[in-house]
């Protein structure tokens, strides 16, 4: 399948962007880092001989897609992916909704996959229109009393029909340790609600309707064992939360929704192969890193705007915000990520972006093709809106004009832009995109001289919150 494409031409400019010469000077260093990521990281991870400056080395995400698919093809019944498919397909006949409980990387990847690859109004479709795939909701990512209570009430209300399965819901709880406060509290509350609603059938059904993704040990693993959960999936060792989207953390919710997980993984593998073999000047990952890094270093572009030109890609932008912020926001370094959705946010942020401080680069995330037929403006006898002159134009035509017009306007005010172009939005291209952004984040961390893994700042807030609750 066709690979996504990176076009940096809107940032190649002597006045406000980067030069070809600057890019060329950076290529040897980028090639060194790439070789380190592809060859040395796996060797050091497997051997356990990890230098201090690389600890923790949560690099397994890079070869995990190949590992998962290889195991599945060797053992199509007992491999982890086979177990995921078995659980997901089994739930389709039993429940009409799933509450995914997790925070940060434990839910943002799953949410991104749902929003990118499912019908925009998936949860509002009838059970038949969803192909019996469950409605999916996300909680345990906050401690918002009203939002959590409202979801409990929505789940209790059941589906849109009289089928017995429409009155039942399940929990997918995702936490490596089970000790993260937001998710642990939500799981306690949602587990109690589900058990109460199941009544006399709880002893039989609760082990089937609670599906954890957690570590090999820890509080959540112990709790899942006590419940008697029929399946407990693992957050892989050597994979940090924000790099876990293509593990069971993201694949299990995606499979529940009917997403083609094999194509997701194939897309990631295709990006890995491109990253490992393409020359720096043709390498999507390395070119993306080079342009954004040089703009930050030489032009002060410390704010990195991911301009998504499809509403379905917004949650991928929010997932990437976390990936970039937690990976590179250390030691006084790291660009500030910001996701926008256009053309929507052209009417809220664009004035400041175009004529405010010149501290931004705009990375456009664009799809070249749409999943549904183009919707024409249409001709009308009521032409008070004066749109009949573009009656034969479609929404994709207007979107293309807006993308080009926005880029041209930004260039006129000396603001750099790049285009990250997906051939279409499907599991293969989304797999490519997620893997590309994870690889790029690691490469840029190494370029900055910081470890892209680990999150010391986040751990501090957790300690303080527990202290404020009177816990040691």
Write the pLDDT tens digit of every residue in 137-168: 999 999 999 999 999 999 999 999 888 899 99
Give which of 464, 463, 438 is closest to 327, Cα–Cα: 438
SS3 content of the chain, % helix, strand, coil (to 5): 55, 10, 30
Torsion of CA 395, 362, 269, 119, to 10 degrees: -30
H-type alpha helices, 20-107 = 20-35, 41-47, 64-74, 80-92
pLDDT band, very low/low/confident/very high, at 286 (cuts 50, 70, 90): very high
Has residue 462 got a pLDDT over 80?
A: no
- Check: CB of residue 329 under 8 Å from CB of residue 454: no
Query: What's the rounded Cα separation, in Å, for the pair 91 and 205?
Result: 11
Mean predicted confidence (pLDDT) in 440-445: 98
Q: Which residue's entry shows tokens 């990253």?
A: 275
Q: Given a cut of 90, is residue 460 above it in pLDDT?
A: no
* 421 pLDDT above the threshold of 80: yes
Question: What mean pLDDT do residues 334-345 have?
Answer: 98
pLDDT in tens, 106-134: 999 999 999 999 999 999 999 999 999 99
pLDDT value at 64 more than 90:
yes
Token pair listed for 244: 């876990």
Indicate the pairing of strand 417-422 with strand 360-367: parallel
What was the pLDDT predicted at 15?
A: 95
Phi–psi pair at 446, nearest 5 degrees = -65, -35
Q: What is the pLDDT of residue 467?
A: 81
The alpha carbon dihedral of 261, 265, 266, 268 has a sign of positive
**Sign of the dihedral defined by the CA atoms of residues 237, 322, 460, 334, in that order:** positive
- Peptide bond connecting 321 to the previous residue in cis, omega within 30 degrees of 0: no
% of the chain at pLDDT higher than 90: 94
**Whether the predicted pLDDT of 5 surpasses 90:** yes
Domains of the chain: 5-54+273-453 (3.40.50.10490), 61-263 (3.40.50.10490)
d(CA 462, CA 465): 5
Report the alpha-carbon distance of residue 107 to residue 241 in Å, rounded.
9
Determine the pLDDT at residue 56.
95
**Inter-residue contact 95 to 165 (CB < 8 Å):** yes
Residue 280 has a pLDDT of 97
Identify the band that residue 376 occupies on the pLDDT scale cut at 50, 70 and 90. very high
CB 236 within 8 A of CB 227: no
- What pLDDT, on a 0 to 100 scale, did the predictor assign at position 212? 98
| Token pair in block for residue 124 | 């509002």
pLDDT of the residue at 297: 97
Backbone CA torsion sign across 214, 216, 236, 82: negative
**CA nearest neighbour of 94 among 256, 318, 217:** 256
Total Cβ atoms within 10 A of residue 252: 27
pLDDT at res. 115: 98
What CA–CA distance (Å, rounded) separates 237 from 46?
Answer: 11
pLDDT at 177: 86
Diameter of the chain by CA atoms? 74
The mean pLDDT of 402-407, rounded to a whole number, is 98
Gap between the Cα atoms of 437 and 450, Å rounded: 17
Q: How confident is the model at residue 288 (pLDDT cuts 50, 70, 90)?
A: very high
Could you list the active site residues? 326, 347, 462
Cis peptide upstream of residue 61 (ω within 30 degrees of 0): no
What is the structure's pLDDT at 432?
98
pLDDT tens figures, 24-50: 999 999 999 999 999 999 999 999 999
């Amino acid at each position: 399948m066709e690979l996504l494409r990176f076009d940096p031409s809107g940032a190649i400019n002597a006045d406000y962007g980067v030069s070809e010469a600057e890019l060329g000077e950076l290529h040897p260093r980028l090639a060194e880092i790439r070789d380190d990521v592809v060859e040395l990281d796996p060797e050091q991870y497997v051997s356990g001989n990890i230098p201090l400056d690389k600890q923790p080395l949560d690099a397994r995400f890079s070869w995990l897609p190949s590992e998962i698919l290889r195991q599945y093809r060797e053992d199509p019944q007992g491999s982890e992916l086979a177990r995921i498919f078995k659980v997901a397909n089994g739930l389709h006949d039993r429940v009409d909704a799933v509450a995914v409980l997790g925070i940060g990387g434990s839910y943002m990847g799953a949410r991104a996959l749902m929003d990118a690859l499912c019908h925009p109004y998936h949860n509002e479709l009838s059970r038949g229109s969803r192909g019996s795939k469950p409605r999916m909701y996300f909680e345990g990512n906050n401690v918002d009393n009203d939002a959590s209570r409202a979801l409990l009430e929505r789940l209790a209300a059941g589906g849109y029909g009289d089928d017995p399965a429409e009155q039942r819901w399940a929990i997918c709880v995702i936490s490596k340790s089970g000790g993260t406060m937001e998710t642990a509290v939500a799981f306690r509350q949602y587990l109690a609600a589900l058990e109460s609603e199941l009544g006399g059938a709880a002893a039989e059904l609760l082990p089937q309707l609670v599906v954890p993704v957690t570590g090999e040990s820890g509080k959540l693993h112990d709790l899942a064992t006590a419940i008697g959960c029929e399946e407990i999936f693992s957050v892989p060792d050597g994979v940090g939360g924000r790099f876990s989207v293509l593990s069971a953390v993201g694949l299990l919710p995606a499979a529940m929704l009917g997403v083609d997980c094999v194509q997701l993984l194939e897309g990631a593998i295709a990006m890995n192969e491109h990253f490992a073999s393409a020359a720096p000047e043709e390498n999507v990952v390395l070119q993306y890193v080079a342009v954004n890094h040089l703009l930050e270093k030489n032009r002060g572009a410390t704010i990195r705007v991911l301009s998504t030109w499809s509403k379905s890609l917004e949650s991928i932008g929010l997932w990437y915000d976390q990936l970039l912020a937690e990976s590179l926001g250390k030691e006084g370094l790291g660009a500030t990520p910001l996701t926008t959705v256009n053309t929507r946010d052209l009417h809220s942020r664009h004035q400041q972006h175009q004529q405010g401080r010149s501290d931004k680069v705009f990375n456009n995330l664009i799809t070249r093709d749409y999943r549904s037929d183009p919707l024409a403006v249409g001709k009308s006898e009521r032409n008070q809106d004066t749109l009949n002159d573009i009656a034969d134009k479609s929404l994709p035509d207007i979107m293309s004009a807006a993308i080009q017009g926005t880029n041209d306007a930004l260039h006129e005010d000396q603001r750099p832009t790049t285009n990250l172009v997906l051939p279409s939005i499907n599991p293969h291209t989304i797999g490519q995109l997620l893997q590309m952004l994870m690889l790029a984040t690691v490469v840029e961390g190494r370029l900055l001289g910081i470890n892209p893994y680990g999150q010391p700042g986040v751990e501090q807030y957790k300690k303080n919150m527990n202290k404020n609750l009177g816990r040691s």
